[in-house]
């Protein structure tokens, strides 16, 4: 279980200290899909960096199974805003980069990576380069790169924001299905309310800076589907949407 206990974070600039995050406490259950929604610039991405051990909190602590996270942890993998695939590496080379950082990839690592790519429809593109793939495929490759290190927890940092609207809906659907099949705990940061509701079991709404938790919504929809597309059609969807919209207080 991933736990945030009174996590706070302050930025320091020569002009002064900026309180970015204040007293954020959260329990994230194994296998849960949690979304964090907040106005832009409220420190959502910073919160992910804190969970991922890329930044140390100024107050409080982040733990996995009661172990404090102080540096990037192999149990956590991060999926960035743009796909960040390296243009000079093949798709397979890109997928293996996380393993390469830890050790020389073995044949077994390669076999597993290839299997993942094949499982999720990129089998024919293993030796291609990122610029030969469509935006949606690139994002899928980026997800597989995240999965290749076999993490327990995925951190998704607005992973669809660089895609056009149509692709965005399809890719969100694909990503959600893949995560469901791989049974990973996931935390999605987004400013898209619909995306948050349709993908998650729970939505956390953050306030403007300094970010505090404004509200938590357990998303219960009258559909069994995990597909975000299908969930958008559920009658309760609009109800959640309006409530979160009001809470975000966008003027």
Q: How far is residue 148's CA from residue 198's CA, in Å, rounded to a whole number?
A: 25
Task: Transcribe 14-51 into DSSP letters.
Answer: TTEEEEEEEEEEEEE-TT-EEEEE--TTSSHHHHHHHH
149 in contact with another protein (CB under 8 A): yes
Q: How far is residue 80's CA from residue 156's CA, in Å, rounded to a whole number?
A: 7
82 in contact with another protein (CB under 8 A): yes
Nearer to another protein, 98 or 194 (CB): 98
Is the distance from CB of 40 to CB of 12 less than 8 angstroms? no
Nearer to another protein, 38 or 151 (CB): 151
User: In this chain, which of 34, 77, 91, 244 binds another protein, going by CB under 8 A?
Assistant: 77
Kindly determine how many residues on this chain lie close enough to bind another protein according to the rule CB under 8 A.
Answer: 25
What is the contact mask toward another protein in residues 99 to 118, using x (rule: CB under 8 A)?
Answer: -xxx----------------
241 in contact with another protein (CB under 8 A): no
Which residues within the stretch 202-231 sit at the binding site for another protein (CB under 8 A)? none
Neighbour-count burial of 12, counting CB atoms closer than 10 A to its CB (0-12 exposed, 13-18 middle, 19+ buried): exposed
Chain centroid offset of residue 223 CA: 23
Q: Count of residues for the chain? A: 251
Which residues within the stretch 115-144 sit at the binding site for another protein (CB under 8 A)? 129-131
Residues that bind another protein (CB under 8 A): 52, 54, 71-74, 76-78, 80-82, 84, 86-88, 97-98, 100-102, 129-131, 149
């Amino acid at each position: 279980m991933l736990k945030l206990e009174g996590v706070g974070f302050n930025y320091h600039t020569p002009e002064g200290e900026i309180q970015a995050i204040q007293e954020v406490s959260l329990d994230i259950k194994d296998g849960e899909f949690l979304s964090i929604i907040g106005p832009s610039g409220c420190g959502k991405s910073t919160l992910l960096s804190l969970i991922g051990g890329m930044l140390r909190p100024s107050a409080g602590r982040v733990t996995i199974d009661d172990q404090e996270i102080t540096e990037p942890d192999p149990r956590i993998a991060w999926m960035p805003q743009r796909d960040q695939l390296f243009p000079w590496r093949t798709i397979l080379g890109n997928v293996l980069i996380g393993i390469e950082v830890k050790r020389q990839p073995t044949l077994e690592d390669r076999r597993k990576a290839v299997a993942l790519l094949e499982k999720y429809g990129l089998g024919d593109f293993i030796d291609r380069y990122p610029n030969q793939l469509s935006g949606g495929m690139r994002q899928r490759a980026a997800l597989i790169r995240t999965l290749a290190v076999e993490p327990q927890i995925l951190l998704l940092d607005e992973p669809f924001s660089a895609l056009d609207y149509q692709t965005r809906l399809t890719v969100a659907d694909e990503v959600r299905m893949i995560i469901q099949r791989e049974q990973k705990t996931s935390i999605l940061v987004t400013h898209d309310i619909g995306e948050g509701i349709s993908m998650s079991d729970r939505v956390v709404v953050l306030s403007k800076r300094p970010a505090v938790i404004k509200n938590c919504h357990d998303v219960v929809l009258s559909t069994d589907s995990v597909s975000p597309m299908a969930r958008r059609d559920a009658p309760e969807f609009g109800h959640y949407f309006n409530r979160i919209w009001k809470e975000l207080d966008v003027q």
